[in-house]
């Protein structure tokens, strides 16, 4: 039997693919769960047992969290990337790393094709397909749910007929959780005018007493929380847990999907939003006006590449090199106050703070030039505009 490597999450769509590919397509199915921060060990073990019970020949869990941070999240922090000034790419930034890991496993086991459970209605089908198409054009891509245009009930009926007795209840919301946040779609998000109820979010407020956290950055990367040094991944996990107690990081993203439709999704991303805003504040104090301007332009495009499955474009590596070079002096601490539902940046400290009192204090004193210097400078600055308005006086 030919082998197929199937990207597997344990949900209805990927569960359907196992018996279908085995029974109807005559393939030996090898399921692959790529953990980018959304599954505990207990959940991963449960998913493995489920895959094998469906008839998978083997199941492999790949921990891709550190790679996801090192090759993706750190650049989203460096660039302060928020899609449409709102969304930290909580889910869209994961998929390429999941697809890359599935493809690597497919090569390792000698698979003759790769598969995923995406439907034909969303972005993820493009994200998986594009990685497979670019890096493994010799491997056919199978997407049974998309190919057969199945309804959810069709999949449930097929699984029931083939001995899968799990109760596949229709969940009101589709929830995708990972290291960089959780997305919530369905019901109210399918319309433009209805807000998602608080009860739909995975975290609920359990703490009402305000608290202040101190985040330390070293060359742009999160390095310590409240004075305790830790890895960026550990810091993100801890900050997410702290922020979840305050139900911080909720918002709704509206944007253009890869397939051309407008899409709306709610999300909860405490650590991403706190870290991006804190990092941005530190950059305002340590980078020049030109650096801040060009970072914003390039980082926005980097986020677009990541969101639209173009991570493999060499331009992404060029932008990453630029972003990393800007972080040499983005070192210091930021104090953040957490309260139910929101956070406030209190201030920052850095040895590279360009708000340097040696040259003066804005609105108070000026030690680098005199009032007469300003008069002359303003005259020079005004000259091009004076010429323009003189020429166009009668216009």
CATH superfamily of 3-161: HUPs (3.40.50.620)
Q: Where are the beta strands (DSSP E) in 151-268?
A: 174-178, 181-185, 211-218, 221-225, 228-229, 250-256, 262-268
Q: State how far the Cα of 248 lies from the Cα of 319, in Å rounded to an integer.
A: 30
| Residues lower than pLDDT 50 in the chain | none
CA atoms within 13 Å, Cβ hemisphere of 93: 31
Q: What angle do CA 213, 236, 205 make, to 5 degrees?
A: 65
Q: State how far the Cα of 367 lies from the Cα of 359, in Å rounded to an integer.
A: 5
So what's the pLDDT on residue 173? 83
Label the pairing between strands 58-63 and 28-35: parallel
User: For the chain, which residues make up each domain, given as ranges?
Assistant: 3-161, 174-287+326-349, 360-391
Which strand (E) or helix (H) includes residue 353?
A: none
182, β-bridge pairs: 177, 268
Distances (CA, A) of 371 to 114, 200, 356, 367, 368: 70, 59, 20, 10, 10
So what's the pLDDT on residue 360? 67
Structural class in CATH, domain 174-287+326-349: alpha beta
Whether the CB-CB separation of 141 and 129 falls below 8 Å is answered with yes
Two structure tokens written together for 317: 């590596």
Q: State how far the Cα of 9 lies from the Cα of 167, in Å rounded to an integer.
A: 17
29, β-bridge pairs: 4
Question: CB neighbours (10 Å) of residue 333?
Answer: 17
So what's the pLDDT on residue 382? 96
Q: Give the three-state DSSP class for 138.
A: coil
So what's the pLDDT on residue 246? 97
So what's the pLDDT on residue 50? 95
Label the pairing between strands 228-229 and 141-142: unpaired
**pTM for the structure as a whole:** 0.94
Burial 206-242 (b: 16+ CB within 10 A, else e): eeeeeeebbbbbeebbbbebeeeeeebbebbbbbbeb
So what's the pLDDT on residue 163? 87
Distances (CA, A) of 288 to 81, 209, 291, 354: 19, 37, 5, 8
Label the pairing between strands 360-361 and 365-366: antiparallel
């Amino acid at each position: 039997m030919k082998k197929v490597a199937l990207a597997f999450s344990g949900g209805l769509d990927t569960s359907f693919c196992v018996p279908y590919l085995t029974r109807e397509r005559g393939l030996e199915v090898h399921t692959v769960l790529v953990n980018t921060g959304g599954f505990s060990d207990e959940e991963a073990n449960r998913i493995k047992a489920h895959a094998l019970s469906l008839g998978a020949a083997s199941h492999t869990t790949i921990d891709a969290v550190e790679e996801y941070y090192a090759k993706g999240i750190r650049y989203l922090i460096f660039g302060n990337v928020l899609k449409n000034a709102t969304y930290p790419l909580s889910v869209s930034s994961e998929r390429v790393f999941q697809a890359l890991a599935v493809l690597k496993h497919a090569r390792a086991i000698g698979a003759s094709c790769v598969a995923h459970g995406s439907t034909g209605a969303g972005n993820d089908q493009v994200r998986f397909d594009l990685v497979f198409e670019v890096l493994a054009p010799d491997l056919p891509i199978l997407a049974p749910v998309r190919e057969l245009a199945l309804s959810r009930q069709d999949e449930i009926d097929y699984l029931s007929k083939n001995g899968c007795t799990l109760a596949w209840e229709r969940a009101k919301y589709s929830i995708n959780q990972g290291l960089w946040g959780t997305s919530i779609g369905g019901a109210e998000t399918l319309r433009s005018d209805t807000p998602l109820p608080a009860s739909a979010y995975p975290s609920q407020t359990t703490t009402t007493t305000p608290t202040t956290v101190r985040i330390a950055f070293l060359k742009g990367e999160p390095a310590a929380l409240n004075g305790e040094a830790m890895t960026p991944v550990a810091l993100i996990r801890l900050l997410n847990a702290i922020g979840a107690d305050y139900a911080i990081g909720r918002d709704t993203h509206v944007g253009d999907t890869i397939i051309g439709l407008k899409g709306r999704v709610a999300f909860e991303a405490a650590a991403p939003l706190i870290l991006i805003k804190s990092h941005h504040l530190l950059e305002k104090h340590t980078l020049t006006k030109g650096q801040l301007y060009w970072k914003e332009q390039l980082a926005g495009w980097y986020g677009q590449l990541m969101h639209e499955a173009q991570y493999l474009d060499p331009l992404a590596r060029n932008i990453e090199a630029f972003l990393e070079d800007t972080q040499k002096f983005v070192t210091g601490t930021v104090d953040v106050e957490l309260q139910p539902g929101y956070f406030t940046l209190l201030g920052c400290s850095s040895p590279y703070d360009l708000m340097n009192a040696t040259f003066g204090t804005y609105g108070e004193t000026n030690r680098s030039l005199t009032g007469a210097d300003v008069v002359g400078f303003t005259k020079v600055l005004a000259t091009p505009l004076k010429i323009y308005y003189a020429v166009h006086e009668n216009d």
